Structure 1
Amino acid sequence: MSTHALTTIGFDADDTLWQNEQYYRLTEEHFRELLADFAEGPKISERLLEAEKRNLSHYGFGIKGFTLSMIETAIEITEGKVPTSVIAQILDTGRDLLSHPVETMPHVRETLEALSGNYLLVLITKGDLFDQERKLAQSGLGDFFDAVEIVSEKTAVTYRRVFSKVGDGPERAMMVGNSLKSDIVPAIAAGSYGVFVPHEMTWVLEHVDEPKDAPRFRKIAHLGELGSLLGALS
């Protein structure tokens, strides 16, 4: 193995290892139904997204911030007249999100099993601490990872820190994920490879252009193609 060979692979969790965004979409549909007497569905979604953007710096990513944004949106749309019964139902939907089943993506287990022992594997995810820990435990994938990092934000600084602590630095690391904004662009900026695995339901706030001109950018259709990609790089 050369001095520049990859030793460490980071994986995003939500919508890379297991389904996540689909549950948020279903919850948003229910939220729109709850407020149907006060506004049209698209308007409700627009206001909710605005609230989420405003609140990211206060609550961070995850279900708790999403739930608070739904409550805030309900108060705004109804001009403070939202029934307490609706607030209670919004809280219930938030709790339901925290208990949804974990559905792993195709090719995840066999890919991690094949890579484990040959590379240092690290899970790098953002969101609610308890929720991410719950999903990792229920997924049955925890034993494949040498380290787990649950972070408030994913930036180039984050990847430099994690890959230097867990592995041999960002230059000998790779980040795999479905979010160009969080998983790919900042990892490449840190000096790592960024492997984009598109998901049909990636959150709109995670959308940026593909860094196609970046020498360390790669794109695969699913995780089952990662082994062949690694073989081509070695």
Structure 2
Amino acid sequence: MNRTARLYALVEELRAAAPRPLTVAALATRFEVGTRTVQRDLQSLMRSGVPVRSLPGRGGGWSIDRQMTLPPIRFTADEALALTAALASADASTPYAGAARSAAQKIMASMAGPASAAARELAARIVTLPTDGDSAIRTAVERAVTDSMVLRLSYTDAAGRVSDRVVEPAGLLTTEGRWYLIAWCRTRRAGRGFRLDRIAVACPTGEQARHHDLTALLLGSAAAGAVQPTALASLWRVTRS
């Protein structure tokens, strides 16, 4: 078994046993390698962001948080190439760009042979102009949307007017290369769209936001005809069922 396959197998072994920890010795026996090799593999998984952790003491060992991981997904070569291209095109101003980059790296690392060479060649042909997006603002917006948390914004509108807003995020909208936070604005008592590159400050309040239907907030606006991206539509239907 090569190292890449062993790393995947280690994750699945830990997932199958979770929440019970497994010792390095037991894992070494299972994969017929030395304990030092297993220890290095586990450290590599931890550095790459896989939620494995070491539990010290009697009855301890290594475990994984099953809620934070997915089982292996067998992509075809074409699917992996498409994902690599899509993820590589996410620039610094795109929401969840950091997660997209790490996902692309994991896909690339999992591929071998001609598929790997094709993916690397494709990645080398995709370039993007850097932007001046504020990573702290983008991160605050990402977390607010993911966790449904109220945000306090300092926002500059199209006319150059600056205002302070308290908003309850409903979702994200993209059009013509721009990203917008769609939210219920407590200040205006209505649904509003906030262009991410016009947000000067985004401070999480720690308060849980109420649920707001994204489609309902867009009604009557220029974005009323917005639709779910094709790649996400099936996922959206599953979460609604």
Q: Taking structure 2 as the reference length, what is the TM-score of the superposition?
A: 0.28
More RCO (CA 8 Å, sep 6+): 1
Which protein has the larger Cα radius of gyration, Structure 1 or Structure 2? 2
Q: Taking structure 1 as the reference length, what is the TM-score of the superposition?
A: 0.29
Larger helix percent: 1
